[in-house]
């Protein structure tokens, strides 16, 4: 399977690197308006593949998108220290206007995977610009927030994060919702598991985990300018689900007909991902407070996306 990545900056190159090391796909093509950057990133990553996989990594132009099953959109401008994801909207919208039609003219059957922030609104905009069914325009959404949530819970409980089943819903951003009420460790409710292993989750600890998940990106950006390793791995995970038609359940963003009574909004809930993109949505059971928080998140995103395209 061939994957194209438009945008060879830190996020795009991190995704290419993760894909190359995993060996999930046969070919990765990097595109960037700075051709020298794309070539340098591709060459550097290609030198790592002999240690791990047979994936081919190269730079190219739009003509090289032909045959790509997935196109990762990692183009746009970076989030600056102190800048919210939503403030990136106007600048990144103009970038996407110039990219989406050129990409689909060459690879009309591809799944578009949106990585640029603010990712939910950019997913909504990309869906409108492309004219594709929402199931084929997937935003990375809260896949990284969910990984952060699971990592912190696993660390506290002394178990692998892969044994934690918990999701972050709604916006990839300030209004996101940590779904504590249905979080599991193995097959046991998270609070019960915590009590059994002598590591209870009191209100103060839950608040600290919530803060760590919600503000992780801001801390990382303040420390090193941008985030890229985590989301690069998350994008590679989504591609793997598509490439192998895994029917994996991942928290990603697409334009959704109805979320808590809010119509046609792009946000994250657990979704089934396979070769054709999103195959189904899963709406977990939530507490009353979580339902209300998810509705607030959906309304916020709907208001921000209204009238943009």
Residues in CB range of 43: below 8 A, 6 or more apart? 59
- 151, containing H or E segment: helix 143-157
Asked about 172 being catalytic, the answer comes back as yes
Gap between the Cα atoms of 128 and 307, Å rounded: 11
CA angle 177, 123, 302 (to 5 degrees): 60
Residues in CB range of 42: below 8 A, 6 or more apart? 8, 16, 28, 30, 57, 58, 59
Cis peptide before 71 (omega within 30 of 0): no
**Considering 47, 52, 172, 291, which one is annotated as catalytic?**
172
What sections of 8-48 are H helices per DSSP? Answer: 10-22, 35-46
Q: What is the DSSP string of 111-147?
A: EEEE-SSSHHHHHHHHHHHH---GGGEEE-TTHHHHH
List, in sequence order, every residue forming a beta bridge with 170; answer none if it has no partner.
268
| Count of Cβ atoms closer than 10 Å to residue 249 Cβ | 15
Block residue for tokens 């790592």: 48
Active site residues: 172
């Amino acid at each position: 399977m061939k994957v194209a990545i438009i945008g060879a900056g830190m996020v795009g190159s991190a995704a290419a690197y993760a894909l190359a090391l995993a060996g999930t796909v046969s070919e990765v093509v990097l595109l960037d308006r700075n051709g020298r950057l794309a070539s340098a990133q591709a060459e550097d990553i290609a030198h790592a593949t002999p240690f791990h996989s047979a994936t081919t990594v190269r730079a190219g132009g739009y003509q090289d998108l032909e045959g790509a099953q997935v196109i990762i959109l990692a183009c746009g401008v970076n989030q600056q220290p102190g800048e919210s994801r939503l403030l990136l909207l106007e600048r990144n919208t103009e970038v996407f206007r110039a990219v989406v039609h050129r990409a689909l003219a060459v690879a009309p059957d591809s799944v578009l995977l949106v990585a640029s922030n603010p990712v939910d609104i950019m997913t909504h905009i990309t869906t409108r610009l492309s004219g594709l069914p929402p199931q084929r325009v997937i935003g990375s959404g809260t896949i990284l927030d969910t990984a952060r949530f699971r990592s912190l819970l696993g660390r506290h409980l002394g178990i692998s994060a892969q044994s934690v089943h918990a999701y972050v819903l709604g916006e990839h951003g300030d209004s996101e919702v940590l779904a504590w009420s249905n979080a599991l460790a193995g097959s046991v409710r998270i609070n019960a598991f915590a009590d059994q292993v002598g590591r209870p989750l009191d209100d103060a600890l839950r608040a600290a985990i919530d803060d760590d998940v919600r503000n992780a990106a801001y801390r990382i950006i303040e420390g090193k300018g941008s985030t890229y390793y985590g989301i690069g791995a998350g994008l590679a995970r989504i591609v793997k689900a598509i490439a192998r038609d895994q029917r994996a359940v991942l928290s990603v963003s697409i334009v959704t007909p109805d979320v808590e009574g809010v119509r046609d909004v792009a946000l994250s809930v657990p979704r089934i991902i396979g070769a054709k993109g999103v195959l189904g949505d899963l709406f977990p059971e939530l507490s009353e407070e979580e339902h209300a928080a998810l509705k607030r998140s959906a309304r916020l995103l709907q208001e921000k996306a209204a009238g943009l395209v």
